[in-house]
Amino acid sequence: MGARSAGGDSSGGEPQQGGHPQGGGTGRRLAVLDGVRVLAALAVLFYHYVVLASAWGEPPAGLFPVAHRFAVYGWLGVEIFFLVSGFVICMSTWGRSLGDFAVSRVSRLFPAYWAAVAFTSLVLFLWPEVRGIKKYSDVIVNLSMLQGGLGVPHIDDVYWTLFVELKFYVLFAIVVMCGVTYRNCVLFCGLWTLAGVVAPTADSGVLSFFAIPSASPYFTAGIAFYLMRRFRPNAVLWGIVGVQFLLAQHYVHDRMVSSLGRSATEQTPSWPAHVIILLGFVLMAALALGALDGIRWRWLPHAGAVTYPLYLIHMMVGLTIIHHFRNAVAPVPLALGVTVFMLVLAWVMHRLVERPLGRLLSGSLRRGLQDIRGGTPGRPPLARLPAQPAAPEAERIPAGR
């Protein structure tokens, strides 16, 4: 299309859209993104089933001597999810209003999440082998997805990432209100990066809460990668990605400690984690540059669709099943069998809950927004209250009092 590079737009206006196919709102689904989601979800599942000892009753390293060496880095799937999220949110909000953004996020996140909270709570109530339900009020609060900010325990430990996502959505909603443009996105990336650098040493709880220093580099890099795809790469965007990559590498040790524990971290080499992060950035760069557009396998969108429900239900339910059958089934067949069962269960949840309830919720919320705007088509206006007669002259309040 003969577009200028974003960095070369000296007129002060928005750079023209790049010529990549599928970029900038063409409506064609990026199958590679679904493939990345699948890899990230399976990596996290692999980590939980092969590394955590709570389900097996003994160190899993002895049960899976080879697989364990790779599974200890499966927690990095979360970081890859954050990379994809930054890319997708920037892409999906382009040209949309704040109301559209809110409706799309609520209808996308909550149907499967509500089902997962209910199902996981039922399993933990009936079979409290790995963990039980301490207070029923915790289940109610978890349905809001706000438990991370209220100090309420997660019903399933994987939910912590959803609260991080919510904070990102709240911050990016500011961009949506101002208009999702190249300039505003770059400004957001710069300000959030600055906040993440300052937060660890600043005496501000609010700043630390929203800066999310260990996660924001991935969201920010995802935004920059989408800008590359839509407007073509330039020095500014590569600079943003480079800074985020360095910040992400800085937090590898802290993430290893939080995921594996300090003693296990001392025995686990960190270089593979650094390499995996590098590969994640390289993969997203290839996607941004259009190098992977030829990958359009038809099964990828279907596989990608089940990654969210799979992520939501696999941990505590899967660990409970493993714990229940650990003495009856060999470790490898049991782990593989639970994985297959979780995949099937996630597909059922997607087909029977997430899709239909998501459509219903989306339609209901959009009608509600139309009512707020006062422009609902096809509906008669609400009955108006009769006008009150004017007060007698003597009862009116004089102006200025």
Q: How far apart are CA 68 and CA 205, in angstroms?
A: 37
Rounded mean pLDDT of the chain? 87
What pLDDT, on a 0 to 100 scale, did the predictor assign at position 66?
A: 94
87 inside domain: yes
138 inside domain: yes
What pLDDT, on a 0 to 100 scale, did the predictor assign at position 7?
A: 37
Higher pLDDT, 236 or 14: 236
154 inside domain: yes
173 inside domain: yes
> Of 71-80, 191-200, 322-331, 361-370, where does mean pLDDT reach its minimum?
361-370
What pLDDT, on a 0 to 100 scale, did the predictor assign at position 361?
A: 93
Query: Residue 282 is encoded by which pair of tokens?
Result: 């390289």
Do the beta carbons of residue 36 and residue 308 sit within 8 Å? no
The answer on pLDDT for 45 being more than 90 is: yes
172 inside domain: yes
Q: pLDDT confidence of 201, banded at 50, 70, 90?
A: confident
171 inside domain: yes
Question: What does pTM read for this prediction?
Answer: 0.85
What pLDDT, on a 0 to 100 scale, did the predictor assign at position 168?
A: 97
What does the pLDDT look like over 3-39, one tens digit per residue?
Answer: 333 333 333 333 334 434 334 444 467 889 999 999 9
Report which residue type is found at 236: V
What is the extent of the structural domain holding 44? 24-371
The answer on pLDDT for 218 being more than 80 is: yes
Q: How far apart are CA 267 and CA 215, in angstroms?
A: 24
Compute the average pLDDT of residues 290-303: 91
Higher pLDDT, 40 or 206: 40
What pLDDT, on a 0 to 100 scale, did the predictor assign at position 13?
A: 38
Number of domains in the chain: 1
Compute the average pLDDT of residues 273-279: 97
Q: What are φ and ψ of residue 121, in 5° steps? A: -65, -40
Q: pLDDT confidence of 379, banded at 50, 70, 90?
A: low
Q: pLDDT confidence of 375, banded at 50, 70, 90?
A: low
**What is Dmax (Cα atoms) for the chain?**
92
How far is CA 26 from its chain centroid? 23
What does the pLDDT look like over 143-162, one tens digit per residue?
Answer: 999 999 999 999 999 999 99
What pLDDT, on a 0 to 100 scale, did the predictor assign at position 179?
A: 95
What pLDDT, on a 0 to 100 scale, did the predictor assign at position 264?
A: 87
Query: Residue 170 is encoded by which pair of tokens?
Result: 């709240």
What pLDDT, on a 0 to 100 scale, did the predictor assign at position 398?
A: 40
The answer on pLDDT for 283 being more than 70 is: yes
48 inside domain: yes
What does the pLDDT look like over 108-143, one tens digit per residue?
Answer: 999 999 999 999 999 999 999 999 998 899 999 999
What pLDDT, on a 0 to 100 scale, did the predictor assign at position 35?
A: 93
Q: How far apart are CA 97 and CA 116, in angstroms?
A: 29
247 inside domain: yes
Q: What are φ and ψ of residue 261, in 5° steps? A: 95, 155
Q: pLDDT confidence of 377, banded at 50, 70, 90?
A: low
